[in-house]
Amino acid sequence: MTRPETASVKGRQAQAERLRAVWDNPSGWRYWTSVNNFQIGLWYGSAAFAFMLFAGVLALLMRMQLALPENNFLSADLFNQAFTLHGTVMMFLFAVPIFEAIAIFLLPPMLGARELPFPRLSAFGFWSFLIGGVFVCGSIFFNAAPSSGWFMYPPLATDKDFSGIGADIWLLGLSFIEIASIAAAIEIIVGVMKCRAPGMRINMMPLFAWYLLIVAGMILFAFPPLIAGDLLFEMQRMFDWPFFDAQRGGDPLLWQHLFWIFGHPEVYIIFLPAIALMAMIVPTFAQRPIVGYSWIVLAAVGTGFLSFGLWVHHMFTTGLPQISLAFFSAASEAVAIPTGVQIFVFIATMLAGKVILSVPMLFGTGGIAIFVIGGLTGVMVALAPFDWQAHDTYFIVAHLHYVLIGGMLFPVIAGIYYYYPLVDARKLSDHLGRLAFWQMFIGFNVAFFPMHLAGLRGMPRRVFTYPADIGWHWLNLISTVGAFIFAAGVLVVVIDVLRPKHHAPRGETNPWNAGTLEWISEPEENWGVRSIPIITSRYPLWDQKNLASEINEGRFYLPDAQEGYRETLVTSVLDAEPLQCLRVGGTSYVTIVSAASLGAVFIALTFHWWITALICGVVTCAAIIYWLWTGTAEIPEKPRKDVGLGLILPLYVSGPSSVGWWAMFITMVGDGTAFASLVFGYFFYWTIHDDFTAGLAGPGSFWPMVALALFLAAWLALLTARTLNDRGQPFAMRLSLMAALFLTAGGSAAGFMGPWSHAMAPTAHIYPAIVWILVIWMLAHAAVGLMMQVYCLARSLTGRLTDEYDMDLRNVVLYWHFLSITAVVTFAVIGLFPLAI
Amino acid sequence: MRFVPKQIESLWTLFTAPVVWAVHFLASYLSAAVFCAKQEQLAFGFDMLRLAIATFTSVALAMIVLSAWLAWRQWGFGAHDPPHDDPTGHDRRLFQGFATLLLSGLSFVAVIYVAMPLLFVTECWR
């Protein structure tokens, strides 16, 4: 297919220069204000990898301690800190973020987009992650790291004498990082759904994008329960609210539920993107399209759903009714089906093609072999009776490392070797890669296989030492030797990545002869793609002749940046038809300021510096409002723009066809999940007690019903404001907005009066505590809703919100749809449910 | 009102059967958990719980079968073979139909898995 000449050679050069200037990074220290997906992805990935190395060193220290019986290399307390931080860092600071990093780095070129829709949000997420990560990791140097295990079970972790400040660092540091993960999820979902190159219908989408879409959806439902749990946990630690204190009606088991509702999907949130990398690598080295594309989609979606039905298999020994255990055991067995499908698809693709056993394939296939062993022991421990024997032993340690290292670390290293040419235009060393693989593969098995046996011989996890005469010592010694061989392999990878390569000649652009679009991206350029192509194949570089050269000559969409804005295309969900020319945010300090001030809020809270926390909170709010005011919903200088090839697209879109609306929708789904977790907590307490009110006064029905009525009225006033705005009546619209504002304030006051007027003391018992927490959640959301109303009013008064340009108002109305649901549930539960029992 | 829904253009249909699985799973787990926690205050026994979950299961399986039939229709009743990778709206719909059909199959099996404990467990043992 040849494109018509759109400009002369000289004209095209001028276009390229304008485009380059718009996407260029600032120099000097201002380089760090970049928001480009290429830099953010690289920084994100490098930081995550550095955290991994740090946690790996902690693991080696632990192996040194365990190498010999009755060893005193580490003290018991330092050992506790080391294993807690090892698990925490590997899960929260490496396994999940590395995929956010890879997604941010790879998705735009893979989808044929210039950028993801919210580059500043990605940058904000990165800085949040970095600050939170350094805070959590740094604690061990002050002997203040969390030490209660990476899942922080109460009552140990709620006991201030036993757990110290480390638990607060864990809770607040990680809550902050979870926000970064949700930010990445929003970016990925909207990016994959709305920013694909024209023609890239959903049946042509790269499998990596399918997986990431599912994973981002899972983050949205998995992380919020943990955020809700963190909130309850911190309320107990800071203010002595008894959520997990059995003496005052609480229950430590609620934490286990909330943690594992997050924790088990987390395993698949980690595993699916790794498999996604394999789904890109295997076809390239089999030199043929993947066999069973639809089956992979089945597997990704199926695993995504089923993984939420597994959480109780971490709680088989907590004394839940056997019928409950059986449901989760059944679902745990069922998830093996889609997982197996993926493995068979890869095997079939390799059998159907002619496999080139390159370094990425070595790591990929080696990883899958390890993962399959972990999967098989997983099927074993999914059976409750077996789990009762193996629970909390080294058998579990072996199982989880087989799953995570085989299912995640090896594919990531495969991905590094595969995608490194996109970072530096050169391949990593084949020789060093093979050396690293064999060291890691052999070292891994030597280290972790004996742990199955140590576990079956009764060695519990997390012990800092053991006696000499119970038959664990030589198994542990072998494990330690294996761990160091494994670490030597990782070191070789690090050396290979870091060694200077500028003396080596620049490699070809697509050195593996891959078929997917990301391989046209050139590391020297910041624009993602020179022009946004029309895609007609799943493997466009194999099937669309001359595609790369035509893209690079700027013969497709948006080859220019005449107005000096960073622009990309928004397309439709199913068929990727062009809908809008989207202007995305450019280089800015505001992301760093927002992340740093929000980070300071969390850090100040850890040390109970209330005033500092308050000041930083105000700074955060101001920074975010400045960010929104100056960088979003800007009215363009003209309504439409010629994007090339004779296509004219709008520059401003609002409502459900805009990316901002979808971002709000996705955020609120996550937010709703956190709220649902708190409501789950309310009913959980109801089930465990005969009378969960313990005879204490409730909030009554009167004030909750008044609050509900006022919030619903506020919502209706807002809907009216939107209608009036559509009709071009700005004055009436502002009046309606002000009415909504007063109704919101009134509703908040009435909501507060319920528990307040009945003198409910949250530290006395679980019932007042859970009622208060629901009310506080509602009021905090009402406060945000109120700020949004004021914001819309201000935008309208300054002419930035009109009947034609109404994105802000539509997004706020969407927020209020969710807020009204929250109000109905909150006030019905606290006001009416006690009457029904 | 039509008994069989019209063909609609949406990505959401892909998730129908897994959502049915999720709702069935939650309904089964929550009703069993609440029953076992509150059984002393309830006027009915474990057999009623089994009957209730069996009813959920039948409804869920029926919904999944309907979703599978709709997917089969979207897939052109199997008249076309995968990989469905042509750059046309037709192939995109075939792909959606096929993937939805596969997911319906998985969800059907998964619902049966989750319901199976009811055959073996007859009271709230702990």
Instruction: Output the DSSP codes for B36-97.
Output: HHHGGG-SS-HHHHHHHHHHHHHHHHHHHHHHHHHHHHHTGGGTS-TT--SSSHHHHHHHHH
A202 and B87 within 8 Å at the Cβ level: the answer is no
pLDDT reported for residue A5: 52
Residues 292 through 321 of chain A touching chain B, CB cutoff 8 Å: 292-295, 297-298, 301-302, 304-306, 308-309, 319-321
Which residues of chain A make contact with B83, given a CB cutoff of 8 A? 289, 293-294, 538
Report which secondary-structure segment, H or E, holds A580: strand A578-583
| B36, B92, B121 member nearest A203 (Cβ) | B92
Q: Measured between CB atoms, does A145 come within 8 Å of chain B?
A: no
pLDDT the model gives residue A687: 93
Tell whether the model's pLDDT for residue B1 goes beyond 70: no
Q: Does B83 touch chain A (CB under 8 A)?
A: yes
B13/A contact by beta carbon, under 8 A: no
With contacts defined as CB-CB under 8 Å, which chain B residues touch A204? Answer: 85, 87
User: Which residues in chain A (152-211) have CB-CB distances under 8 A to chain B?
Assistant: 193, 199, 201-204
Q: Please report, rounded to a whole number, the percentage of residues in chain A having pLDDT higher than 90.
A: 85
Residue A4 confidence (pLDDT) above 70: no
Tokens linked to A649:
């697209």
Query: How far apart are alpha carbons A140 and A605 in whole angstroms?
Result: 19
- If you average pLDDT over each of A8-17, A18-27, A679-688, which comes out highest? A679-688
Mutation site, B31, B102, B108, B118, interface A, largest A CB count within 10 A:
B102
Residues 6+ apart with CB under 8 A from A116: A37, A104, A107, A108, A122, A187, A188, A190, A191, A195, A584
> What region does A288 belong to: left with phi over 0, alpha with psi -120 to 50, or beta?
beta
Q: Do B34 and A297 touch (CB under 8 A)?
A: no
CA dihedral of A168, A171, A173, A175, whole degrees rounded to 10: -150
Question: What is the nearest CA distance from B74 to chain A, expressed in angstroms?
Answer: 14
| pLDDT tens string A451-473 | 999 999 999 999 999 999 999 99
- Measure CB to CB from residue A204 to each of B11, B87, B118 and give the nearest one: B87
Phi/psi of residue A641, nearest 5 degrees: -150, 145
Report the distance separating Cα A596 and Cα A139, nearest Å. 18
Residue A204 to chain B, least CA–CA distance (Å): 6
What pLDDT sits at residue A6?
52
Contacting A residues, span 531-550, partner chain B, CB-CB under 8 Å: 535-538
pLDDT digits (tens, 9 = 90+) for A234-268: 999 999 999 999 999 999 999 999 999 999 999 99
| Alpha carbon of B122: minimum distance to chain A alpha carbons (Å) | 8
User: A623-674: per-residue pLDDT in tens?
Assistant: 999 999 998 889 999 999 999 999 999 999 999 989 999 999 999 999 999 9
Residues of A in contact with B99 (CB under 8 A): 294, 297-298, 301
One DSSP character per residue, A455-502 reads: HHTTPBTT-S---GGGS-HHHHHHHHHHHHHHHHHHHHHHHHHHS--T
pLDDT greater at residue A430 or residue A504? A430
Query: In the CATH scheme, what architecture does the domain A676-836 have?
Result: Up-down Bundle (1.20)
* Per-residue buried b or exposed e for A182-208, using 16+ beta carbons within 10 Å of the residue's own CB: bbbbbbbbbbbbbbbbbbbbbbbbbbb
Coil, strand or helix: which one is A568?
Answer: strand
Other beta carbons less than 10 A from residue A356's beta carbon: 13
**Measured on CA atoms in the order A100, A101, A102, A106, is the torsion positive or negative?**
positive
Find the CB nearest B103 among A301, A327, A574: A301
pLDDT at A177: 87
SS3 call for A532: strand
CA distance A297 to chain B (A): 7
The residue with tokens 């480390």 is A166
> Residue A622, Cβ neighbours under 10 Å: how many?
13
Closest partner residue to B103 (CB to CB) among A202, A298, A321 is: A298
How far CA A205 is from CA of A199, A348, A575, A607, A716, in Å, comes to 10, 20, 10, 47, 40
pLDDT at residue A45, as a whole number: 95
Quick one: pLDDT at residue A1? Answer: 41
Summarised one tens digit per residue, pLDDT across range A182-230 is: 999 999 999 999 999 999 999 999 999 999 999 999 999 999 999 999 9
pLDDT tens-digit readout, A699-757: 999 999 999 999 999 999 999 999 999 999 999 999 999 999 999 999 999 999 999 99
Least reliable range by pLDDT among A10-14, A98-102, A615-619: A10-14
The answer, for B119 touching chain A at a CB cutoff of 8 Å, is no
Q: CA angle at residue A272 from A269 to A275, to 5 degrees? A: 150
- For residue A2, the model assigns a pLDDT of 42
Q: Which of A308, A331, A536 sits opposite B114 (nearest CB)?
A: A331
Contacts of A29 (CB under 8 A, 6+ apart): none
Single-letter amino acid, residue A748: S
Residue B80 contacts A where some CB pair is shorter than 8 Å: no
In DSSP terms, A347 is beta-bridged to none
What is the reported pLDDT for B79? 85
What's residue A524's pLDDT? 84
8 Å CB contact of A319 and B126: yes
DSSP state, residue A35:
-
Would you say how long chain A is, in residues? 837
Rounded CA-CA distance A539/A199 in Å is: 13
Instruction: Check residue B81 and give its pLDDT.
Output: 83
Number of CB pairs, chain A paired with chain B, less than 8 A apart:
138
Which tokens sit at A712? 């619903």
pLDDT digits (tens, 9 = 90+) for A408-434: 999 999 999 999 999 988 999 999 999
Residue A785 amino acid letter: G
At B2 the pLDDT is 63
> Residue A569 is inside which H or E element, if any?
strand A567-571
Per-domain boundaries in chain A: 592-624, 676-836
* Per-residue pLDDT tens digits for B46-57: 999 999 999 999
* Whether B99 contacts chain A with CB within 8 A: yes
Condensed to tens digits (0 to 9), the pLDDT of residues B81-98 reads 888 888 888 999 999 999
- pLDDT at residue number A146: 93
Of B9, B21, B92, the CB nearest to A305: B21
* Complete DSSP assignment for A51-100: HHHHHHHHHHHHHHHHHSTT--SS-HHHHHHHHHHHHHIIIIIIIHHHHH
The Cα-based distances of A234 to A176, A783, A784 in angstroms read 13, 21, 22
* Whether pLDDT at A837 is above 90: no
Cα–Cα distance measured from residue A682 to residue A755, given in angstroms and rounded to the nearest whole number:
15
What confidence score (pLDDT) does residue A628 get? Answer: 94
Nearest-neighbour CA in chain B from A96: distance (Å)? 24
**C-alpha span between A507 and A517 (Å, rounded):** 18
Mean pLDDT across A693-697? 90
Token pair, residue A746, equals: 């009134």
Nearest CA in chain A to B108: A334
B89 to chain A, any CB pair closer than 8 A? The answer is yes
Residues 6+ apart with CB under 8 A from A605: A168, A172, A234, A238, A613
Q: What is the pLDDT of residues A786-832, one digit of tens each?
A: 999 999 999 999 999 999 999 999 999 999 999 999 999 999 999 99
A99's tokens: 């995929």
Residue A287, SS3 per DSSP: coil
Mean pLDDT (chain A) is 93
Q: What secondary structure, in 3-state letters, does A110-143 show?
A: HHCCCCCCCHHHHHHHHHHHHHHHHHHHHHHHHC
Query: What's the one-letter identity of residue A608?
Result: H
> What is residue A7's predicted lDDT score, i.e. its pLDDT?
59
Residue A3: how many other CB atoms lie within 10 Å: 17
